[in-house]
Amino acid sequence: MITRLFGPTKRTLESLSEQEILALAISAEEDDGRIYLAYANGVRDTFPHTASMLDAMAKEENEHRRRLIDMHVKRFGDNIPLVRREYIRDFPKRKPDWLVARMPIETVRANVKAMEEAAHRFYLEAAARATDASTRKLLGDLALAEKGHENKARLFEESEEGKAAFSEEAHAERRQFILTYVQPGLAGLMDGSVSTLAPIFAAAFATQDTWQTFLVGLSASVGAGISMGFTEAAHDDGKISGRGSPVKRGFASGIMTAIGGLGHALPYLIPHFGLATGIAVAIVFVELWTIAFIQNRYMDTPFWRAATQVVLGGSLVFACGVLIGNA
């Protein structure tokens, strides 16, 4: 009954026989090799240097697996028990291949380092428990090999070649981030902030009714967000342009468009017209300067030129809304 409720109890490393330790090491090397290849395939197009390093590590893991199998066959025969890391208590888990293929490059490198450290500790512990001299030597050699991976990666990162390679990859990652998230998000924020100024403030000054103004702003913002999101996602699949997932770009553009409009629509939930309008105008000012900052920060547009363009355009649209609302 207890087993049914809580599942089978995991075993400790100390409870494993030497045959089971070898079987666990074989399955762990197989898993790690597959994960390295999944990482490599996920970053190959954008980060070729890291992909090459991961390919080499996967090849070494395959060699470790071969040596472990040879040892198992020599000592225990061809029948290898099925012992996997998820059966062992406190053994580091690994995510399946399909979850690791599209991680940020820094996450990939951090995970690889953690995998090597965990493998090094496992082999040290396993070697300490082995009584057969040849098995103990093999496990100790593999512990040194796993530590060597980490040292090689560190030395490569510190070398001039490594610094140049990672700098190039960091630039590529930043460029991809800008193309996939910043550029469509910025376009959405500009559209949402500027295009909704006229209808919101026209409704505000025409009706002097904060609730009606809020409804106009809400509908304009949400409608513009949906329209921009679908337009961004539909007009470019990203395969030729290299701008990344159309779904991600669509969400970035749509959400930022809605936020841009809702920023100066939400103050009209305040029932006092003068106070709501004053807060809305202040928020518009913040929105326009935020757009100028993002253009300067990510698009390399000179700040004062970006500010002049955005503030001038926003001011003209705002003035149109006020004039129409007072007509």
For residue 72, what pLDDT band results from cuts at 50, 70 and 90? very high
State how far Cα 187 lies from the chain centre.
21
pLDDT at 63 over 90: yes
For residue 2, what pLDDT band results from cuts at 50, 70 and 90? very low
Can you give the pLDDT at residue 3?
A: 45
Can you give the pLDDT at residue 103?
A: 67
Can you give the pLDDT at residue 157?
A: 58
Beta carbons of 217 and 204 less than 8 angstroms apart: no
The one-letter amino acid at 210: T
Beta carbons of 325 and 216 less than 8 angstroms apart: no
What is the Cα–Cα distance from 86 to 197, expressed in whole angstroms?
57
Tell me what percent of the residues of the chain surpass a pLDDT of 70. Answer: 80
**CA count, 13 A, side-chain hemisphere, 51:** 14
What is the Cα–Cα distance from 307 to 313, expressed in whole angstroms?
10
Which contacts qualify for 262-266: CB closer than 8 Å, 24 or more apart?
A: 262/192, 262/217, 262/218, 262/221, 263/193, 263/287, 264/193, 264/196, 264/197, 264/200, 264/217, 265/196, 265/200, 265/213, 265/214, 265/216, 265/217, 265/218, 265/220, 265/221, 266/214, 266/217
CA dihedral over 117, 121, 122, 126, signed as positive or negative:
positive
Residue-wise pLDDT tens digits, 214-231: 998 899 888 888 888 888
Residue-wise pLDDT tens digits, 171-217: 666 777 787 888 888 888 888 877 787 788 888 888 888 999 899 88
Residue-wise pLDDT tens digits, 134-173: 999 999 999 888 887 766 666 555 555 555 666 666 666 6
* Arithmetic mean of pLDDT over the chain: 80
